[in-house]
């Protein structure tokens, strides 16, 4: 198949890397891509959120299959436009992408279908949000009701912090939510209408600082599998959360097709849904891709063409860990343009691949172009060995304007110590 991959981040670099290892992938085009993705694909500079531009590129290049990496093109209706002209696409329709595009939509769906999740209130103004705080204990969760690249959530530990978060957000739709106590895990499922199968698990590290301190980010690292999400808990999450969601979306006439990423809180009473994403997570994708075995492109194509019953995903028993190297100032205002070197040295460590999350070429030099810059990933027989490999690789990279956490995977490693 001639495949087009949409996106420009670390997730898309990992997807490109894995797609080009698939026997069914004869060529790969990426739009717009980045310097890392250019190692695996030919990059074309178009707006991936412009349905007409994507369709035109796909037709011009004879593309047979499109894989959509980020959420914004899905919410913009790119998958709908491709399906309308008969091009297979991995990713949900704009209507189904509301599961990520609107947190309020998802909370209402959960309430209507008895799907375990936190108690909540939807509001449209800052004044209403402040009034709603009286209905919740502290800590309380404040969520912007829209796409926020993983940074639209505040877990307020005091009333003052909650009020400050609402004031920063201003008027606009928000969800005020009960704080759930427990450990988080990410579950990725392949979905085809009313049917769903589990693919893989991971655990992300959202806080910018070690020991899970500081503001939320898009993710500072991840590992897979998430040991805390046992086989029993995974089956329960599929039965009580993912599968009812798939059935509800199909029954509403907006069937979901693609990968559904359930962010879970493992509470004392079982898994509860924090939120959905309608694409592979970032940096979870970078951790999961090295564990997937077989023809990955064919697997995604089977989902896109309604053949989920033909799929039996196979994962390596080995563990993976991803450490994000971010530009100083992230998640606020990151320092731009810092020079990067040593990626070849990092990848000389066994089992390591360095995925590009926010880089560009400036006068022949690789430089930072975003908040999260690199996603250094290692695979090894055990999580402890993966940690050792990934930090050896991180230490081999020369990026004076960067920083990273040194404690990715700490919960899982404590459990096995």
In this structure, of 108-122, 149-163, 170-184, the range with the lowest mean pLDDT score is 149-163
Looking at residues 168-187, what average pLDDT do you find?
91
Same domain? 174 vs 190: no
Looking at residues 8-23, what average pLDDT do you find?
98
Q: Across all residues in the chain, what is the average pLDDT?
A: 95
pLDDT grade for 154, boundaries at 50, 70 and 90: confident
What pLDDT sits at residue 417?
A: 65
Task: Say how many C-beta atoms besides its own lie within 10 A of residue 289's C-beta.
Answer: 27
Q: Answer yes or no: is pLDDT of 36 > 60.
A: yes
Same domain? 83 vs 145: no
Looking at residues 252-260, what average pLDDT do you find?
98
Identify whether 98 is part of a domain: no
pLDDT grade for 338, boundaries at 50, 70 and 90: very high
What pLDDT sits at residue 358?
A: 97
What pLDDT sits at residue 280?
A: 97
In this structure, of 147-156, 205-214, 287-296, 353-362, the range with the lowest mean pLDDT score is 147-156
Same domain? 329 vs 303: no
Identify whether 308 is part of a domain: yes
% the chain with pLDDT above 90 = 91
Provide the domain count of the chain: 4
CATH number of the domain that 293 lies in?
A: 3.30.470.20
Edge to edge, the sheet with strand 120-123 lists: 120-123, 174-178, 140-144, 153-156
Residue among 310, 290, 288 at smallest CA distance from 301: 310
Same domain? 357 vs 412: yes
Residue among 255, 217, 225 at smallest CA distance from 375: 217
Residue among 258, 286, 297 at smallest CA distance from 28: 297
Q: Answer yes or no: is pLDDT of 149 > 60.
A: no
Looking at residues 36-41, what average pLDDT do you find?
98
pLDDT tens digits, one per residue of 350-370:
999 999 999 999 999 999 999
Identify whether 26 is part of a domain: yes
Radius of gyration of the chain (CA): 20
Identify whether 262 is part of a domain: yes
Same domain? 140 vs 186: no
What pLDDT sits at residue 147?
A: 66
Identify whether 193 is part of a domain: yes
CATH number of the domain that 85 lies in?
A: 3.40.50.20
CATH number of the domain that 173 lies in?
A: 3.30.1490.20
What pLDDT sits at residue 148?
A: 55
Q: Answer yes or no: is pLDDT of 150 > 90.
A: no
Same domain? 256 vs 199: yes
Q: Answer yes or no: is pLDDT of 132 > 80.
A: yes
Same domain? 293 vs 191: yes
Same domain? 191 vs 285: yes
**Which phi-psi region, left, alpha or beta, contains residue 219 (left: φ > 0; alpha: ψ -120 to 50)?**
left
Length of the chain: 417
User: What is the distance between the alpha carbons of residues 193 and 83, in angstroms, rounded to a whole number?
Assistant: 15
Domain boundary among 158, 178, 198: 178
Looking at residues 236-243, what average pLDDT do you find?
98
Same domain? 296 vs 328: no
What pLDDT sits at residue 171?
A: 84
Q: Answer yes or no: is pLDDT of 20 > 80.
A: yes
Identify whether 110 is part of a domain: no
In this structure, of 14-28, 159-173, 195-209, the range with the lowest mean pLDDT score is 159-173
pLDDT tens digits, one per residue of 90-126:
999 999 999 999 999 999 999 999 999 999 999 999 9
Same domain? 142 vs 161: yes
What pLDDT sits at residue 170?
A: 81
Identify whether 48 is part of a domain: yes
CATH number of the domain that 326 lies in?
A: 3.90.600.10
Domain boundary among 285, 315, 345: 315
Same domain? 377 vs 344: yes
Which CA distances in Å does 174 have to 155, 214, 262? 14, 22, 20
Same domain? 235 vs 336: no
> 134 versus 25: which is more confidently predicted?
25
Identify whether 256 is part of a domain: yes
% the chain with pLDDT above 70 = 98
Contact 397, 324 (CB under 8 A): no
Its domain, for residue 168, covers 119-178
């Amino acid at each position: 198949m001639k495949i087009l991959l949409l996106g420009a981040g670390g997730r898309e670099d990992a997807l490109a890397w894995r797609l080009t290892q698939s026997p069914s992938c004869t060529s790969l085009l990426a739009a717009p891509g980045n310097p890392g993705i250019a190692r695996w694909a030919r990059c074309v500079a178009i707006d991936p959120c412009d349905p007409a531009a994507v369709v035109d590129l796909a037709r011009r290049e004879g593309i047979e299959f499109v894989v959509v990496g980020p959420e914004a093109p899905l919410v913009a209706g790119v998958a709908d436009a491709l399906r309308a002209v008969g091009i297979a696409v991995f990713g949900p329709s704009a209507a189904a992408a509301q599961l990520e595009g609107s947190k309020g939509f998802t909370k209402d769906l959960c309430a209507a279908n008895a799907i375990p999740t936190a108690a909540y209130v939807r509001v449209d103004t800052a004044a209403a949000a402040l009034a709603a705080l009286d209905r919740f204990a502290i800590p309380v969760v404040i969520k912007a009701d829209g796409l926020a690249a993983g940074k639209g959530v505040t877990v307020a530990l005091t009333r003052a912090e909650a009020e400050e978060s609402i004031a920063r957000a201003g008027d606009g739709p928000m969800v005020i939510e009960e704080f759930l106590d427990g450990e988080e895990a990410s579950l990725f499922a392949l979905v085809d209408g009313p049917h769903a199968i589990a693919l893989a698990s991971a655990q992300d590290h959202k806080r910018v600082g070690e020991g899970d301190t500081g503001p939320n980010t898009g993710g500072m690292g991840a590992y897979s599998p998430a040991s805390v999400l046992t086989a029993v808990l995974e089956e329960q999450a599929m039965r009580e959360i993912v599968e009812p969601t798939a059935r509800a979306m199909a029954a509403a006439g907006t069937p979901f097709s693609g990968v559904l990423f359930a962010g879970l809180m493992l509470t004392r009473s079982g898994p509860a849904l924090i939120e959905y994403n309608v694409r592979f997570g970032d940096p979870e994708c970078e951790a999961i891709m090295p564990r997937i075995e077989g023809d990955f492109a064919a697997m995604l194509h089977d989902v896109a063409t309604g053949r989920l019953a033909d799929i039996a995903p196979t994962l390596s028993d080995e563990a993976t860990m991803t450490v994000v190297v971010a530009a100083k100032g992230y998640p606020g205002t990151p320092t731009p343009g810092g020079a990067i070197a040593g990626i070849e040295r990092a990848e000389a460590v066994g089992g390591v691949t360095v995925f590009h999350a926010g880089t560009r070429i400036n006068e022949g030099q690789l430089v930072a172009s975003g908040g999260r810059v690199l996603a250094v990933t290692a695979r090894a027989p055990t999580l402890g060995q993966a940690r050792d490999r990934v930090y050896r690789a991180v230490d081999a990279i020369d990026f004076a304007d960067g920083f990273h956490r040194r404690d990715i995977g700490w919960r899982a490693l404590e459990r096995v110590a």
